[in-house]
Amino acid sequence: MSAVQTGAGESRRRVLRGAVAGSLGVAGLGAASGHPAAAADRRAPGGDGEGKLSVAVLLYDGFTALDAVGPYEVLCRVPGVRVTMVAREAGPVRTDTGELTLMAERAMSEVERADVLLVPGGGNRGTVAMMEDAGVHRWIRRIHRRSTWTTSVCTGSLILGAAGLLRGLPATTYWASRPYLKEVGAVYTPGRFVETGKIVTAAGVSAGIDMGLHLASRLSDEKVAQAMQLAVEYDPDPPYDTGSPEKADAETEALALKLLADSAR
């Protein structure tokens, strides 16, 4: 009797997380497992050669780790989806604090198509560098041309904007960077994430988790997205109510800006 066949209660008693793999004899995530119909509907334009929906996350020196890892964590288990970290060169990429390094699996030059493009935000230095990098903008526009979804978290929307993708469009960004949306031609619009056509921009850092679950429902269906919310036990209980500038006082806001500045590398 497999763990899954015994029902949810018995499952809890029997399995460590993921332990049902063996009992199901599942070979792996792919077009042949999970929800193949949902995946197949959207697979055609940007497959990565493995018959999967490809999510390309653009890493760059000075990006913010959670901006990339939040959406990765809720998308990587969606049936038929393959998340790939991409950077100018494959290899190590440092975050905005300099205390953490993620590996980019592929170089931008190797990635000509993706079903989903996701541009995380970063500290001031990293964001500005990407806003001024014409080569990165060309790559973003190329991927965007055939993407199903083009997305950003935090100041990533300023990078999409600098690439010319947000002219006249509603968008959001990191709370402290909202005024800069205007400079790239976008219209600041409140929201944890803002969808306009095939572009979805999320607010700061942790908002990428909320947007990621929304994308999970778009790439698959609501049942899968709901299951992924449970899979990452996303039942948030923040210790304070200071998560947005509308809720935090001016002192908290000034201290947040100082902590960001002091930790920037």
Catalytic residues: 154
Give the whole-angstrom CA distance, residue 5 versus residue 23: 10
DSSP bridge pairs for 199: 150, 196
Beta strand segments in the chain, E: 53-58, 81-87, 91-94, 101-104, 106-107, 116-119, 149-153, 170-171, 187-188, 193-196, 199-202
Integer angstrom CA distances of residue 40 from 22, 31, 81, 176, 203: 26, 7, 11, 40, 30
| CB neighbour list of residue 59: distance below 8 Å, 6 or more residues apart | 68, 85, 86, 87, 93, 102, 104, 120
* CA dist list (Å): 219 to 82, 83, 179, 186: 11, 13, 31, 26
User: What is the C-alpha radius of gyration for the chain, rounded to an integer number of angstroms?
Assistant: 19
Which residue number, 44 or 254, has a Cβ lying nearer to a second copy?
Answer: 254
8 Å CB contact between 68 and 85: yes
